[in-house]
Amino acid sequence: MSLFEKFETAKLLKSGLATAGADPTGVVFDTLNSPTEGVVDGRAIILAGTNNYLGLTFNPECIAAGVAALESQGTGTTGSRMANGSYASHGKLEEELADFFQWPHAMVFSTGYAANLGVLTALLGKEDVVLLDSDAHASLYDGCNMSGADIFRFKHNDLQSLERRLTRLKDRANRCLIVIEGMYSVLGDCAPLAEIVALKNRFGAKLLVDEAHSLGVYGEQGRGVAEAQGVLDQVDFIVGTFSKSLGAMGGFCASRHDVLSLFRYVSRPFMFTASPSPAVMATTREALKQLRTRPELRASVWANARQLYGGLKALGLELGPEVGPVVAVRSKDRQTALANWNQLLESGVYVNMMLPPATPGGGSFLRCSISAAHSAGQIQTIIEKFSKL
């Protein structure tokens, strides 16, 4: 087998996707007119698959902050914080994130993916154990794999499955990190965090929660599912991203443990990556400020989520288990999903297509993500387009 032969599988996948019309992995937006409107192949499109939960990508204050940072500090940092030093805005954002979670420490990474790699490889070593939810994001799998720890999966959101695995660990349980997400990104279902916290306390394990898709949307202050379920003070590490509700790019970890302040000396994905640019730090800081001071954004996301979920449910479609900012519509098979995704795009609605193997239960889904910036009329249009499939 030659070096390149392994790409035959990818070639087959690519050609299979293209036969149904547009390639869902290769959509190009000619222009973006707002957080919810774009143009694809000259057609006006409603954006219903961008994870732009708070709709802040075109927020005037965020843009002004980014422009000011560009003009005053330049386009990039041209290196890592370990080698080139930090900009004041890196430290400011870390202070603001720590304050947001009311914890002593936060650390900024260049992407959400890098945050998960950076935190898991710093925290875990060969003698340690991870219990990983089976539906966890690829970045969590990759970080666990890179760490060298023993990895055992438990069934998605299944407390009995988690408890059995904690029991099997015996005295290794106190070297165990449970890794889960607050809200899972494909189906939009939330972890039973209060119960998971009770288990981790009983067995003396630690808990990391990825709030990438729940930050800004769940919890009274927008801190995520852990806050919404009243157990934030018992979670050990929160990781998340700036690229969804904060409309920028980058990732973070926050913790109530002092050990997080030492991660920057041992975390290779942090040490050997260029730090986030000044403009990214500026727009993220402004977006975080808006997240904290404009609860009406959360109210809008939830109103839109209820409208979309209710409307699609009334059509008799099979949806994810709970109302939330992600609404997943199950297709009967892969080909139907591909055909329906193309029809939606042609009729002016962009959603995400989720195909196995990277999906729960091996299903095929059309995944919508809701924004505070969607109008009621846009949500109604999305429902109407689904009704014609």
Partner 1 sequence: MKLSTKKVAGELATILAEYLKKGWVDTPASKQAITPETNMVSNLQMDSFQVMEFMLEVEDHYDVAIDLESLSNIQTILDLAGVVIAAHSE
- Cβ at position 333, least distance to partner 1 in Å: 8
Q: Cα 312 from chain centroid? A: 23
- Cβ at position 266, least distance to partner 1 in Å: 22
213 is catalytic: yes
φ, ψ (nearest 5 deg) of residue 78: 60, 25
Burial class (CB in 10 A: 0-12, 13-18, 19+), 99: middle
DSSP labels, 19-41: HTSS-TT----SEEEETTEEEET
Query: H or E element: which one contains 283?
Result: helix 278-293
Residues at the interface with partner 1 (CB under 8 A): 132, 134, 144-145, 150-155, 161, 164-165, 168-169, 356-358, 361-362
Query: What whole-number distance in Å separates Cα of residue 150 and Cα of residue 76?
Result: 38
Which of 300, 307, 268 shows the shortest CA–CA distance to 56? 300
- Cβ at position 10, least distance to partner 1 in Å: 14
Query: H or E element: which one contains 354?
Result: strand 352-354
- Cβ at position 116, least distance to partner 1 in Å: 16
Residues in the chain: 389
- Of 124 and 344, nearer to partner 1 (C-beta) is 124
- Of 156 and 285, nearer to partner 1 (C-beta) is 156
Beta bridge partners of 152: 131
Reduced to 3 states, what is the DSSP secondary structure of residue 311? helix
Cα radius of gyration (the chain): 21
* Residue of 185, 214, 275, 331 marked active site: 185
- Cβ at position 13, least distance to partner 1 in Å: 12
Query: H or E element: which one contains 176?
Result: strand 176-181
Report the 10 Å Cβ neighbour count for 233: 12
Beta bridge partners of 129: 150, 176
* Residue of 213, 275, 364, 369 marked active site: 213
Residue that has been written with the tokens 């299979």 in this structure: 16
- Of 208 and 323, nearer to partner 1 (C-beta) is 208
Handedness of CA 127, 132, 134, 140 (dihedral sign): negative
- Of 168 and 313, nearer to partner 1 (C-beta) is 168
* Residue of 90, 244, 374, 385 marked active site: 244
Query: H or E element: which one contains 131?
Result: strand 129-133
388 is catalytic: no
Angle at 322 (CA atoms; ends 317, 324), nearest 5 degrees:
100
CB 325 within 8 A of CB 182: no
Query: What whole-number distance in Å separates Cα of residue 27 and Cα of residue 361?
Result: 26
371 is catalytic: no
* Residues designated as active site: 185, 213, 244
